[in-house]
Amino acid sequence: MANIKIPESKIEELRGICKKFNNDSGELINVLHSAQVLFGYLPAEVQELIAEELNVSVAHVYGVVTFYSFFSMLPKGRHPISICMGTACYVRGAEKVLEEFKRLLKVKVGETTDDGKFSLSCLRCVGACGLAPVVTIGERVYGRVAAEDVKKILGEY
């Protein structure tokens, strides 16, 4: 596993999170949610520490992290881009929009640009189907996006 040093202060914070959930292995998913908020992602070191604190194997933690799509082991870009690929967005042309993002950013889905500015991912339905196709960048939601708009949207960042 890659060696990323977690700063001492954050280690304490992570221990604190585990403690808040009574170091209960049944709360693993809640712990992981909080840890991901703290670190932005879940690198191996974080998983090892959580395993130790909750008294379960690292394999068990890793198994849970990789099972759920919400958890990521890679850092996201400063502006995470998500393209909604729910059915409603799909039939209204989300695929073309995704292709355009991929072409302009030169990354695949799940990757981050070299400068760490953008990361690209797909998600299933944000529930704003009236605005399909929908793209979210950080907290901002873009509705009725067409492939031509992509360049302009990226230009805002």
Partner 1 sequence: MAKFKNHILVCAGTGCRASQCEEIVENLKLALEQNGLNKEVQVVRTGCFGFCEKGPVVKMVPDNTFYVQVTPDDANELVLEHLIKGRKVNRLLYVNPETKEVVSDSKHMGFYKKQIRIALRNCGFINPENIDEYIARDGYSALGKVLVEKTPEEAIKIIKDSGLRGRGGGGFPTGLKWELTLKSKSEQKYVVCNADEGDPGAFMDRSILEGDPHSVLEAMAICGYCIGADTGLVYIRAEYPLAIQRLKIAIEQAREYGLLGKDIFGTGFNFDVEIRYGAGAFVCGEETALIHSMEGLRGEPTVKPPFPSVRGYKEKPTNVNNVETFANIPPIILKGGEWFSSIGTEKSKGTKVFALAGKVNNVGLIEVPMGTTLREVIFDIGGGIKGGKKFKAVQTGGPSGGCLTERHLDIPIDYDNLIASGSMMGSGGMIVMDEDDCMVSMAKFYLEFTVEESCGKCAPCRIGNKRLHEMLEKITLGKALEGDLIKLRNLANVIKDTSLCGLGQTSPNPVLSTMDNFNDEYQAHVKDGKCPAGQCKALMHYIIDSHLCVGCTLCSRVCPVDAISGERKTPHAIDTSVCIKCGACMEKCKFGAISVQ
Q: Note the residues at the interface with partner 1 (CB under 8 A).
A: 24-30, 32-33, 63-64, 67-71, 85-92, 96, 99, 103, 123-132, 134, 141, 143, 147-148
- The residues that bridge with 56 in the sheet, in sequence order, are none
- The residues that bridge with 19 in the sheet, in sequence order, are none
Contacts of 94 (CB under 8 A, 6+ apart): 83, 84, 85, 86, 132, 133, 134
77/65 Cα distance (integer angstroms): 20
**Closer to partner 1 by Cβ: residue 38 or 125:** 125
**Closer to partner 1 by Cβ: residue 30 or 116:** 30
**b/e burial code for range 55-89 (CB count within 10 A of at least 16 → b):** eeeeeebbebbeeeeebbeeebbebbbbbbbbebb
**Closer to partner 1 by Cβ: residue 77 or 86:** 86
Q: Supply the minimum distance, in Å, between the C-beta of residue 42 and partner 1.
A: 11
Q: Supply the minimum distance, in Å, between the C-beta of residue 86 and partner 1.
A: 4
**Closer to partner 1 by Cβ: residue 104 or 116:** 104
Q: Supply the minimum distance, in Å, between the C-beta of residue 118 and partner 1.
A: 19
By C-alpha distance, which of 86, 85, 38, 35 is closest to 65? 35
Q: Supply the minimum distance, in Å, between the C-beta of residue 121 and partner 1.
A: 11
